[in-house]
Amino acid sequence: MTAWTVAAEIARKDLRVELRSGEVLWITIPFGVVALFLVPLALPLDNPLLARVGSPMYWVVLLLFGMTIALRGSAVPTEPQRDALRLLGVDPAARFAGRVAATSMLLWAFQIVLAPATFVLYQTPLPPSWGLLIPVGLGVGLGLAVVGTIAADVTRGLRSRTALAPLLVAPLSAPLLVAAAQASESLANGDSILLPALIIAFTVLGLAVVGVLTAGPLEESAQ
């Protein structure tokens, strides 16, 4: 089995566990939509204002609730599962890639639900070249999955995990949020999104390199 096949198998296993538990599908995604619904209630009844904040709110909700998805309980294998995979000689980097792939897919699914909800609730107009937002969303989902997977491993088994993991994820994923919000604004104004796209690409690349390189040593810590 190649490392890619192993990664695909791990991703499939994680998605199957998620399908059984429904943690993301039935809890986090509806909760994220509720958050989008709550914001207009706290703002003055001003439709142009809502249309302006719609896109930034989309990215903020994606970041905050995406953290919940990336750090979900079923994303962190239990010790017996780890032991079994270690005994099978599964490459830690392939396991990391597989977990990132599964989390990315869940985050992309979250975005598929979140985007129409934003357009409906905030009446945000679609930019002319809205198709360019798709790679931006894919990149943000991937970056968030990488940083979330690293944070989940680093805080595994800690009593303060629920508070500490978001403290690590939020600032590290802030460049993704800033770049994504900038890209949306640039597209709405008809400007180039080259700089935000590069920021997203380099952030994802940097995080992925650190994630792959540290997957092995982090695995040792479970022994």
Partner 1 sequence: MKLRYALTGLAALALGVGFSLAAQHPPDAVQGEFVRIINVHVPASWLAFLAFAGTLVGSLGWFATRRSGFDSFAAASAEIGVFFTALSLLTGMIWGQVTWGIAWDWGDARMASTALMLFIYLGYLGLRRGLADPQERAKRSAVVGALGFLIVPVVYFSVNVFRSLHQTQSARPDGWQIESSAIVVSMLTNLAAYSLVYLAFVVWRTAQEAELGRARVDDLAGAAISPPTIGVDRD
Residues of this chain that interact with partner 1 (CB under 8 A) are 150, 153-155, 158-160, 164, 167-168, 170-172, 174-175, 178, 195, 203, 206-207, 210, 214, 217-218, 220-221
Distance CA 148, CA 152 (A): 6
CB of 199 to partner 1, least distance (A): 9
Q: What is the DSSP string of 21-55?
A: H-IIIIIIHHHHHHHHHHHHHHS-S-HHHHHHHHH
Helix 47-70 vs helix 29-42: angle between axes, to the nearest 10 degrees?
A: 150
Q: Which is nearer to partner 1, 1 or 195 (CB)?
A: 195
Smallest separation (angstroms) from partner 1 to the CB of 223? 10
Cβ proximity to partner 1: between 49 and 195 the closer is 195
Of residues 96, 209, 80, the one with CA closest to residue 152: 96
- Cβ closer to partner 1: 35 or 154? 154
CB of 214 to partner 1, least distance (A): 4
Q: 181 vs 187, which CB is nearer to partner 1?
A: 181
Helices (H), the chain: 3-21, 29-42, 47-70, 79-87, 92-122, 133-154, 161-188, 194-220
Q: What is the C-alpha separation between 66 and 59, in angstroms, rounded?
A: 10
Q: How far is the CB of 2 from partner 1 (least distance, A)?
A: 26
Q: Per this entry, what is the length of the chain?
A: 223
Provide the minimum distance between the beta carbon of 192 and partner 1 in the complex, in angstroms, as a whole number. 15
Rank residues 92 and 111 by Cβ distance to partner 1 and give the closer one. Answer: 92
